[in-house]
Amino acid sequence: MIASIRVKTGLAPTNFERDYGQTIGRFMDFVQLLPASESHHHAQPGGLLLHALETANIALHLRGAQVLPPGVAPEDIQRREHRWTFGVFLAALIHDVGKPLADLHIVIAKQRGEGTWSPLAGAMAECGATRYRVTFGTLRGTPDGTPGVRSYAAHQRMGIFLLQRLVPQSTLAWLSEDAEMLSQLTAFLSGEDKTNAVAWIVTQADRESVRLNLLTGPRTRFASARAVPLIERLMEALRRMLAEAGCLPLNRPGAAGFVSDGQVWFVSKRLADEVRVYLAAHESAVGIPGPEKNDRLFDVWQEYGALVANPETGGAIWRVRVQADGFDQVLTLLRFPLEKLYPTPASYPANFAGRVIPLIDARDSSPIATAEASAPTTAGAEIGSTPQDGGNFSPGVVAPSGLPPMPNPGGEPEPAPVAAEEFLEEDDATQFLPRPPDGHRIAPMRLPDKPLKPDRLAKPKAAAQGPSEAALRFMGWLQQGLANGSIAHNETGAMVHFAAEGMLLISPRIFRHFAERFGEKGDGTPSNLLEDKLGTGIQREVIKAGWHLLGPKKTNVHKYQVVRRNGKGGSQLSVMIIREPQRFIEPVPPANPHLVRSDSELETKQDLE
């Protein structure tokens, strides 16, 4: 993980060790093998360290897609680049360092007895500790040693107090030369500002680290952990209810759920209410969100991958039409794979003798596909999903598979710097990014069954087969990156811009960028093309899909001029224009006001001729 972090910084080993390495070493000494939580994410020994390094690694990945600091001249961006990179790394590394101070109780053993460790007094070794043990719940103000009430939010304000203990003095002095950077860093670590550029990046990285751990991480916990994870209580109750006849009736009008093609579609509110009542009757209602917080139960199931999320909304809820003899109703449902609920395929319930039809969105009650009880569903699969996720995008279009997740914390090297002409020369458009989590965000949309056909829209060479898997993987990667912020847009150095004509893809840079990571087909197979031809394979597949606007003389490339603050023209950009971008992402960002199409006169003249 540390090696991956070093690659993302782009520093030589000696320079990396001086600032990053020493900070990581002090952090490791400080957190030892403490957990990040009692029973939620990264609850295993060493969980706090692993979570911190994962968050830093992902944050640096996201930082590479952002122009920092925002709203300054290009020469200032380059001059301040390394301080802002280190600031993002530092905020991510120590964002949870206050947990030992606020959430945990650590007893350290010294040569002369035991005592409670106070993190503000220094690392355990500095306090003379030879060993330690962990309990949960703070002891502050409890002379009798009885664990008190845990403060879940207090740790978010503790990073600022520990900053000087963890960062070398020379590094802090260097960092403080950028007042804006230091202001954003300290505001985030003190809990005063969770919406600035640094806070936004770290928040996204933190969520991704948590998500990955909940989905694939170990379930190991400290022996002293008392709480049973909520997900374990919910899933065990759900499995027992399905095994007990009558608790959750299936496959009839008025049932709690309907079985279709390896999935159980549960009525959302009814399932949450029934599980809550069951737990209260058979165990305890303590720790179970109340009836007014059913969305919290949905979130827990989704966080742990127990259910299949709706790719149209990113949430757990699906809007579905259920049809059978004498029954036709639109319901809000949750989608659980059968393997999550039953021990073996032999124990699966029978299929519903009707149809379960996911709908496009809340505004449209027409189905995007039908799912006969005896046939695979072809509705609602997310871009990049695998066959077990539920099928294809739409009838006749094969769903892509094998797209590596983004952001990717795996530590692959960043691509080489691109030519200067591919960058905007001014940065007035950076008000579009970065955005706080509650701001204007882009949500992926379903790929269309067939490309639209306005005038001058490129015609796909293989329209009967639809877009290739490679083209769909590319568009899925683009959708996902724009949605989570790992692909910047409308700012200096971005590979994507928006204009009145559509979504502008900087060519060939964006295709090279994709091919370097996922190959020419997007399936992970390394490209075998020469360096000067890298990316032409995936570019060809996107062109064949016919989503783009043809340029002058039937070319696939358009020219745009950068308009500087003084009104004079800057560099030219070569772009591929994706028409009707609302087919792929929603909402479509505003047009970049600093780009003007420079081939429009030539195109108009050609049309007249």
In this structure, the number of other CB atoms found within 10 A of the CB of residue 602 comes to 13
359 beta partners: 367
Quick one: average pLDDT of 460-468? Answer: 60
DSSP secondary structure, 351-392, as one string:
PPSSEEEEEEETTEEEES---BTTS---S-PPTT--GGG---
How far apart, in Å, are the Cα atoms of 106 and each of 91, 161, 222? Answer: 24, 19, 13
Alpha-carbon distance values, 95 to 33, 191, 423 (Å): 17, 10, 33
What is the residue whose two structure tokens read 């890298």? 534
All residues at 6 or more sequence positions from 63 whose CB lies less than 8 Å from its CB, including other chains: 84, 85, 88, 201
| Buried b or exposed e, range 500-521, using 16+ CB within 10 angstroms | ebbbbbbbbbbbbbbbbbbbbb
Distance, CA of 164 to chain centre: 31
Q: How far apart are CA 61 and CA 484, in angstroms?
A: 12
For tokens 């905020």, the residue is 91
**Cβ proximity of 104 and 30 under 8 Å:** no
Q: How confident is the model at residue 444 (pLDDT cuts 50, 70, 90)?
A: low
Q: Which of 6, 209, 260 is nearest to 96 (CA)?
A: 209
In this prediction, residue 108 carries a pLDDT of 93
209-223, 277-291, 497-511, 526-540: lowest mean pLDDT where? 209-223
Between CA 541 and CA 328 the distance in angstroms is: 41
CA of 21: how far to CAs of 69, 90, 382, 429, 589, in Å?
24, 11, 39, 35, 39
Greatest Cα-to-Cα distance within the chain, rounded to the nearest angstrom: 95
| Dihedral sign for Cα atoms in the order 82, 84, 89, 93 | positive
For residue range 264-321, what is the model confidence (pLDDT) as tens digits?
999 999 999 999 998 888 877 777 888 888 888 998 898 778 899 888 887 899 999 9
The helix (run of H) or strand (run of E) holding residue 577 is strand 569-578
pLDDT band, very low/low/confident/very high, at 451 (cuts 50, 70, 90): very low
Phi, psi of 392 (to 5 degrees): -105, 175
How far is 53 from 548, CA to CA, in rounded Å?
40
Query: Above 50 in pLDDT, residue 375?
Result: no
State the amino acid at position 358 in one-letter form.
P
Gap between the Cα atoms of 506 and 460, Å rounded:
21
Check whether 457 has a pLDDT greater than 60: no
CATH of domain 2-216: 1.10.3210.40
Q: Where are the alpha helices (DSSP H) in 251-329?
A: 268-282, 294-303
Side by side, which strands form the sheet with 364-367? 257-260, 263-267, 327-337, 318-324, 355-361, 364-367
3-state secondary structure of 532: helix
Say yes or no to pLDDT of 213 above 50. yes
CA–CA distance, 311 with 480 (Å, rounded to integer): 11
Q: pLDDT tens digit string along 575-592? A: 999 999 988 887 888 888
Could you tell me which of 108, 96, 94, 97 has the C-alpha nearest to residue 139?
Answer: 108
What residue segments make up the domains of the chain, in order of their start? Answer: 2-216, 230-374, 420-608
Amino acid at 80: R
Nearest to 506 by CA among 465, 443, 558, 584: 558
Supply the pLDDT for residue 474: 93
The larger pLDDT score, comparing residue 532 to residue 495, is at 495
pLDDT at 465: 59
> pLDDT category, 90, cuts 50, 70, 90?
very high
What's the CA gap between 400 and 597, in Å, rounded? 33
Give which of 235, 393, 346, 252 is closest to 300, Cα–Cα.
235
